[in-house]
Homo-oligomer: A and B are copies of this chain.
């Protein structure tokens, strides 16, 4: 009898399919760490459109979570909602409907507005286009991305001073989402921290959390992060 048929079924390791400079992947990596959940990272070259990956997520996008029990969850918002439901210790979204509504509003601000105004103009132009072979960055887009970042840093300053963390008195998914997006821009050296000291104070607090360390060790072939990127005393 072949061994494979008699061996007990081993619980599969939790796997997160990701890309290093995908802010949505980073959001989930931070959330998993903050919840104390172990996982392995599997880097996905989404532009290769591997059939095995498309079977996990027909949208062909990262992040995708394969949980220990085999549950597959695609899309970063679906993943973090799933994690808060299935692993409710240390809730990331809030402790009641009003807190969760406020967290989700701010997460949507960064996943939607920040990503459209800043992320797509900088990360897409400088990083994604290269991997997809879509040519050089468009200088008008880079200019727009750099111009739009200021109001977001002001908004972070306003929220974090009024409440300590972005959605309230506790660190949570709003901070995780904002930091995930900003950290990608910071890897490119495009966050003008010196002009926004109050947002920098908040980011320094997030950056010093143990959950953040693996992100600071990320590197992308052919794109070196500026020295301050991994420096907690930047």
Contacts and interface: CB of A to CB of B under 8 A. Distances in A.
Contact of A100 (B57, B58, B85): B85
Interface string A107-120: 01100110000000
A178 interface: no
A1 interface: no
Q: How many copies does the complex hold?
A: 2
Contacts of A73: 101, 105
Interface of A is mostly: helix
Contacts of A109: 59, 75
Contacts of A196: none
A6 interface: no
Interface string A77-118: 111011001100000000001101100110011001100000
Contacts of A155: 58
A136 interface: no
Given A58-B155, A59-B113, A104 B75 contact: yes
B104 A85 contact: no
Interface string A58-74: 11010000000001011
A81 B104 contact: yes
Nearest to A72: B101
Contacts of A75: 104-105, 108-109, 112
A113 B75 CA distance: 11
Contact of A105 (B74, B85, B112): B74
A161 to B, nearest CB: 15
Contacts of A78: 101, 104-105, 108
Contacts of A100: 81-82, 85
Given A75-B104, A104-B75, A97 B82 contact: yes
Top 5 nearest A-B pairs (CB, nearest first) are A78-B104, A75-B108, A73-B101, A85-B97, A82-B101
